[in-house]
Amino acid sequence: MPPLLGACASGPRAAAAPAPAPRFAPPAPLVPIRASADRIIAVDVCTRPFRAQGPRIEAERMDGHTIVHCYGHGGAGWSLSWGSAEEALRLVRETGARELAVVGCGAIGLTTALLAQRSGLQVRIYARERLPQVPSAFATGVWSPASRIASADHAAPAFETQWERMARASFRTFQTLLGLPGEPVGWHDFYWLSDGPGARRANAGDEREPRYAMLEGRLLGDITPAAERLAPGAHPFRAVSVRRAAQPVFNLHAYSRLLLADFLQLGGAIETRTFHAPREFTTLRETTVVNATGHGAGALLGDASVVPVRGQTARLVPQPGVDYGLGYGGRNLFVVPRTDGILVQAQQASDYDNADTTPDRALSVAAVERLAEVFA
């Protein structure tokens, strides 16, 4: 075995037996998060466009136009975006179109538009709002490809195959976005806290909420870093059990700007426009149209399968040195070390089928107070 770096600095000692070398250098002590309500700089709410049967990615013919629907990505839209775009573009290619319209400028619309440009298509985006004014901008920003993506009852083998293809394609793309200025995408350690075996989650959920398909552990094990259990004293948290694992983080402000800039640089155009009925797609000069309207597809198409699942996040003043995330089911806490602020998320039992996007500051203040207790 080659000597560890620095091991020869003082020369080997003859008398004492060498202590066994640690496999890894111990991590630096964690900087505690300054969790107090006065440091909350934003409270945001958006809804996950959940469909029990998974995202709708299929083509429909309409008055000489081909509409490729691509919506309903639940709590996994950012994570699956690049793979979802590949699925949609497979259907676009069948039309032979050289010009493409994309309706929607969120995570799904923008990544689909970019991938289409990279394969040589001329792309115009039409949207009521564009990033960062769309629901996608208010997501948590972590790799969560199976989050509320389908109900367990609907996860048939064909869906699982498509989901795995989308997740792996996206994962590969995210690794090409590392190391960029502003860190649009990064990897960070997350600490998973629990109150020990048999401990219950603080948020029991809504009885109307379906059992979600659990896909990640079963289908993506080879690309998911293993969690290591930490000994008491090896971490600063007040919890019975602590595990640590690395996870991708999307710094959504920097990442959205990068995607928009790339789209415009490749000759893309964005037109502000609201569609009131699907027939309006056929008034577009492009005869192939990707419908990436997210939750908006429910009202636009009269598609009752799109269910809003409310989610609220707060951001604390960015704190240099805090580069780790934290999840604590027993305290209803999820914390992400984003460059645009330390994001604190808490769930409510009434989130399912709840389209109310009015921020509830008291909910976020309570979550921040629970976070402070974790370091007490």
- Could you list the residues that contact ligand FAD (CB under 6 A)? 46-49, 71, 73-79, 103-109, 127-130, 134-136, 139-142, 144, 274-275, 292-296, 300, 311, 313
Nearer to ligand FAD, 51 or 331 (CB): 51
Nearer to ligand FAD, 46 or 239 (CB): 46
Q: Rounded to whole angstroms, how far apart are CA atoms 359 and 152?
A: 30
DSSP state of 64: T
Q: How far is the CB of 110 from ligand FAD (least distance, A)?
A: 7
Q: How far is the CB of 167 from ligand FAD (least distance, A)?
A: 10
Q: Rounded to whole angstroms, how far apart are CA atoms 239 and 194?
A: 6
188 near 332, Cβ under 8 Å?
no
Q: How far is the CB of 77 from ligand FAD (least distance, A)?
A: 2
Q: How far is the CB of 236 from ligand FAD (least distance, A)?
A: 25
| Distance from the Cα of residue 289 to its chain's centroid | 25
Q: How far is the CB of 221 from ligand FAD (least distance, A)?
A: 19
Nearer to ligand FAD, 107 or 121 (CB): 107
Nearer to ligand FAD, 109 or 184 (CB): 109
Q: Widest CA span of the chain, in angstroms?
A: 88
Nearer to ligand FAD, 49 or 184 (CB): 49
- β-pairing, 228-230 with 241-250? antiparallel
Closest by alpha carbon to 31, among 361, 326, 269, 346? 326
In terms of C-beta density within 10 A (0-12 exposed, 13-18 middle, 19 or more buried), how is residue 4 classed? exposed
Q: Rounded to whole angstroms, how far apart are CA atoms 135 and 164?
A: 25
What b/e string do you get for 64-101 counting C-beta neighbours within 10 Å, with b at 16 or more?
A: ebbbbbbbbbbbbbbbbbbbbbbbbbebbeebebeebb
Q: Rounded to whole angstroms, how far apart are CA atoms 223 and 227?
A: 12
Nearer to ligand FAD, 88 or 235 (CB): 88
Q: Rounded to whole angstroms, how far apart are CA atoms 309 and 354?
A: 6
Q: How far is the CB of 97 from ligand FAD (least distance, A)?
A: 20
Nearer to ligand FAD, 151 or 235 (CB): 151
Q: How far is the CB of 72 from ligand FAD (least distance, A)?
A: 8
Q: Helical H runs in the chain? A: 77-93, 107-118, 157-175, 216-219, 252-265, 296-301, 361-374
68 near 91, Cβ under 8 Å?
yes
Nearer to ligand FAD, 125 or 235 (CB): 125
